[in-house]
Amino acid sequence: MKNVLSQPLRIVLRSLALSGFVLAAQFAIQPATAADIPLYPTGPAEDSSFVRFVDGGSHPVDVTSAGSKARLTLDAASPASHFFPITAGKPVAGTLTAGGAHQDVSATVKPGEFVSIVALDGAEKGARSQVVTVREKPDDFNALKASVGFYNLDAHCATPTLKVPGRDIVLLDGVAARQSKRRQVNPVALSVQLACGGQPVGQPLNLGTLVAGQRYTVFLVPAGAQSRIFFANDAVSR
């Protein structure tokens, strides 16, 4: 099934690609569907690099590219872009705007790397966003399994753990702050429950029915005095 984009979004993506700073904003905390852009079929090419932007805060985030000034908005309904290919070793730069505050960002991505640039709420009300960069270099592609990653971006959640609710099964744990961990799972319907310090936090998060060969990431981010999780399908734009 072909992915159909609106004409305005096609124009934005074309402009971003020409500037070397490629973004997208198609994500919702919903089960993945066959209409999603498919993941890379054989793992990342050795000479390719990929970048995406993620809104992990409480305000919509406008992402503006340097050069073309093209802009996309990430919000609660669409908090993560797809991964887009960029030139390895060449910096991409732009500005994140959230709650009226601006934050310049820049990243250089190594060949084969998948980089997520995540905007979090500032430490104080009205402060500019904190920006965290998480890097992965996948080497675990399995056409028969789904891959689930866990990005811990909340240092206040003690010993964060993702469990399968109602079954006392640990999916992922032992992830230090600002680090990530990933594992292969069977392509089944899956929900996850966050636990901090051994205690459940919030409600279970439904990831839907996972698809063999695809990758997913669960983000743990601060939410005021609490913690929250959301997920993204790690789709690569073709």
DSSP secondary structure string for all residues of 180-198: EEEEEE-SSEEEEEEEETT
Q: Does residue 14 have a pLDDT over 90?
A: no
Q: Does residue 188 have a pLDDT over 90?
A: yes
Q: Does residue 89 have a pLDDT over 60?
A: yes
Task: Note the Cα 79 to chain centre separation in Å.
Answer: 8
Could you tell me the two tokens for 61? 């985030």
Q: What is the pLDDT of residue 127?
A: 61
Q: How confident is the model at residue 236 (pLDDT cuts 50, 70, 90)?
A: confident
- What percentage of the chain reaches a pLDDT higher than 90? 54
CA–CA separation, 8 vs 139, rounded Å? 35
Of 9-18, 89-98, 148-157, the least confident: 9-18
Q: What is the pLDDT of residue 168?
A: 83
CA–CA separation, 40 vs 237, rounded Å? 9
Half-sphere exposure of 191 (CA within 13 A, CB side): 10
- For the beta sheet containing 84-86, the strands, ordered from the edge strand earlier in sequence to the opposite edge, are 84-86, 49-55, 114-120, 130-136
CA–CA separation, 150 vs 162, rounded Å? 8
Q: How confident is the model at residue 126 (pLDDT cuts 50, 70, 90)?
A: low
Q: What is the pLDDT of residue 8?
A: 40
CA dihedral 163, 164, 165, 169 (to 10 degrees): -80
Q: Which of 122, 26, 129 is nearest to 73 (CA)?
A: 26
CA–CA separation, 175 vs 72, rounded Å? 31
Q: What is the pLDDT of residue 125?
A: 64
> What are the residue ranges spanned by the domains of the chain?
7-233
